[in-house]
Amino acid sequence: MTAPSNETIVVKVGSSLLVNEDASLRRDWVQTLVSDIAQRHADGASVIIVSSGSIALGARKLGLKKGGRASLSDAQAAASVGQIALSSLWSELLAEHGITAAQMLLTLDDMENRKRYLNATATLEKLLEHRAIPVINENDSVATDEIRFGDNDRLAARVAQAASADRVILLSDIDGLYDRTPGSETEGQIIGLVEEVDARIMAMADGSTSSGLGSGGMISKLEAARIANLAGIEMSIISGREDYPLERYALSGVGTLFKASGNANARKSWLGGGLTSAGTIMVDAGAAEALRGGGSLLAAGIITISGQFDRSDVVEITDPDENIIARGLAEYNAMDCVKLIGHRNSEHEALLGYTPRSAVVHRNQMVLV
Ligand code: GLU
């Protein structure tokens, strides 16, 4: 039993934990992980799974060399074969617990390009609201070298950021970060807690994976920890070799925990950081109060709009005295925003002629100033 929780957890599963030597899936083990996940889901947590394994699995099925990583076209072909089996595994096993699985295949561009980022976050939010479990992987069969994440560790951290998650758990064939002297043969001690991913910590990674199946390795895990840390999200690396890995971790605490940055607003600070705003939205006193209380910006509270911003541009939101209250990503371009001024959400579809968004600036895409 775990305590009731409303936290959002991203669980990333590495390739070597999912695929056997004979190209079959490690179904029995995945079943124990799904049981852990279902328990947390039943306790109220929202869970997102980032699952690797499509390339490793597809390569074994197609008989490709070097785990399907000899060339980009090998990897892409392997991924399309493996992904089908992977998705049905998750979907079947989650269904045994009455949970609906939802597949999302993402590319780097979906997380970096702000328009696509808004689409992906809106989809994630809707799925979690309906208690589905998104199962995410990189869209390896179309992603090319330039646009690939290449490893699911960083993808998991970016997804956690997009979903405003509370923690990321990386399940790996290694049980944490070891304190080893570079170049030395001997394994050091596992480091239980990392406050900051600095140069000393980075030097402990050697870039290899013990299985050679995934493309991750400790360097990408530490990079993921950096992304998570900056976004105010805790991250752990734990072993996925044993059954019921989440429950084992909850009981034993064995693994490496990377603390989130102490800055309360860190999670959203990257949103505003360095970006010049393309427009200003002035809101009435009631809306200003709602924003300060953590609400989204709704069109009903808007007084005026200035600037020629596009959807996903950064806008400043001010109160009636022109004090800046917040910055955030606009869900509509300036012209459509103007059409909506003062109108309730129920009227938006008729005014716009298309299915509207839930807010003009969503609270998750907003930083209070
Ligand atoms: N997206 C890759 C796959 O599904 C895995 C990337 C990684 O190893 O982190 O095979």
Task: Please give the torsion angle defined by the CA atoms of residues 83, 88, 89 and 94, in that order, rounded to the nearest 10 degrees.
Answer: 130
Structure tokens at 311: 């959807």
Name residues contacting ligand 1 (CB within 6 A).
15, 52-56, 137-138, 140, 151-152, 214-216
Nearest to 330 by CA among 277, 292, 287: 277
Q: Phi, psi (5° rounding) for residue 314?
A: -80, 130
- Lookup: tokens for 240: 């996925």
- Alpha-carbon separation of residue 225 from 124, 157, 233 (angstroms): 21, 7, 9
Q: What 8-state DSSP symbol labels residue 212?
A: S
User: Cα(202) to centroid of ligand 1, in Å?
Assistant: 22
From ligand 1's centre to the CA of 151, what distance in Å? Answer: 6
What's the gap between Cα 70 and its chain centre?
A: 28
How many angstroms is it from 207 CA to the middle of ligand 1?
15
The residue behind tokens 């059409």 is 339
Pocket test for ligand 1, best of 137, 210, 222 (most atoms within 8 A of CB): 137
What domains are defined for the chain? 8-269 (3.40.1160.10), 277-368 (2.30.130.10)
Residue whose CA lies nearest to ligand 1 atom number 8: 214
Q: C-alpha angle 20/26/32, rounded to 5°? A: 155
Q: Per-residue pLDDT tens for 240-252?
A: 999 999 999 999 9
Nearest Cα to 141, choosing from 85, 101, 220, 83?
Answer: 83
Of 66, 173, 215, which is best to mutate to test ligand 1, by the most ligand atoms within 8 angstroms of its C-beta?
215
Is 270 exposed, middle or buried, given 0-12, 13-18 or 19+ CB atoms closer than 10 A?
middle
Q: Are 283 and 319 in contact (CB under 8 A)?
A: yes
CA of 18 to the centre of ligand 1 (A): 11
Instruction: Fill in the amino acid letter for 278.
Output: A
Q: Residue-wise pLDDT tens for the chain (369 aa)?
A: 455 678 999 999 999 899 988 878 999 999 999 999 999 999 999 999 999 999 999 999 999 999 898 998 999 999 999 999 999 999 999 999 999 999 999 987 788 777 888 889 999 999 999 999 999 999 998 887 766 777 899 999 989 988 989 999 999 998 999 887 555 566 678 999 999 888 888 888 864 444 555 556 888 899 899 888 888 899 999 999 999 999 999 999 999 999 987 654 554 555 544 457 889 999 999 999 999 999 999 999 999 999 999 998 889 999 999 998 998 889 999 999 999 999 999 999 999 999 899 899 998 888 887
How far is ligand 1, taken at its centre, from the CA of residue 42, in Å? 28
Per-residue pLDDT tens for 252-271?
A: 999 999 998 765 455 455 55
φ, ψ for residue 17, nearest 5 deg = -85, -15
pTM given for the model = 0.81
Kindly calculate the radius of gyration of the chain based on its CA atoms and give it in whole angstroms: 22
Q: Which residues of 41-56 are buried (b: 16+ CB within 10 A; e: fewer)?
A: beeebbbbbbbbbbbb
Distance of CA 350 from the midpoint of ligand 1 (Å): 43
Cα dist from 367 to 12, 132, 209, 237, whole Å: 28, 27, 38, 29
Distance CA 29, CA 19 (A): 10
State the amino acid at position 333 in one-letter form. N
Of 151, 168, 211, best ligand 1 pocket probe by most atoms within 8 Å of the beta carbon:
151
